[in-house]
Each structure stands twice: as C-alpha cells, then as structure tokens.
Amino acid sequence: MEVVAEIYQIDNIVCVSLKGTLDILAYDAIEKNINNLFNHKKYKLIVDFSEVNYIISAVIGFLGSSAKVAQYNNGNLIIYNPNQQVRRIFERVGYSHVFTVTDNLKSALKLLSEGDKCS
C-alpha cells in the first residue's frame, strides 16, 4: 500500500499527501520522499494528514527532525487536517508543540507564505 499518495508543488511550497497507517513499514517511504525533497533544496513543506488514520512515534520523531531541518534552512514543515486520534497521539508523545498544525490547506499555505515558523 502506498503511504505517500501524492507530492505536488504550489509556487515554492511542496505538498505531501499521506494516507493510511503510518507504521514502521511506512517509515522508509516517508523518510525517502522527504529526504529527497531536502536534497533538492525544498524546505517549505505541507503534509496532508486528511487520509491518515494512525501514526507511530518513530514516524512522528522523523517528522519532528524534518521540521527542524526545514526551519534551519528558512522553511518549515506544517501538518494539516489530522483527525482527532492522530492529534491525540501527537499530544501523548509530546510533539504537539513541535509542529504547526492547521485544519486546512489555505491556512498552511498562508503560514508558509508569510514565513512563520513553529517553535
């Protein structure tokens, strides 16, 4: 099963749509795709979680590290539209403060266009 459903660009911002269960099997695909974007100097990333139903802490840790790499390079990694279960998982593992989370693509694009960074 594909976990990276789609990667597309809006101006200088890259959108990555994920889907399904983000478990250890999904980790490699997510890591490969995001690292490939970084290798191409793409540091403004929006990750669509609208079709994600579960995420393990290893994937959250990788996304947290990726957010820091993006921020170091004057970008950011913003997550949008996670369901309540995924939001609770972020909170339980202590990453709710690491990511900027929005409810829709328009808000995520606005944040990255303005250059805001999460702390």
The one-letter amino acid code at 3 reads V
Cβ distance 84 to 50 under 8 Å?
A: no
Based on the structure, what is the number of domains in the chain?
Answer: 1
Q: Which of 118, 28, 31, 26 is nearest to 76 (CA)?
A: 118
List the structure tokens of 45: 């990333």
Query: What is the span of the domain harbouring residue 20?
Result: 4-114
- DSSP state for residue 5 in the 8-state scheme: E
List the structure tokens of 90: 């972020």
Is residue 32 assigned to a domain?
A: yes
Centroid of chain to Cα 10: 15
Please tell me the predicted confidence (pLDDT) of residue 3: 87
Is residue 42 assigned to a domain?
A: yes
Mean pLDDT by 10 residues, the chain (119 residues): 86 95 94 97 97 94 95 95 92 80 93 64
- Rounded CA-CA distance 18/80 in Å is 11
Specify the pTM: 0.89
Please tell me the predicted confidence (pLDDT) of residue 79: 95
> For the domain that residue 52 is a member of, what is the CATH number?
3.30.750.24
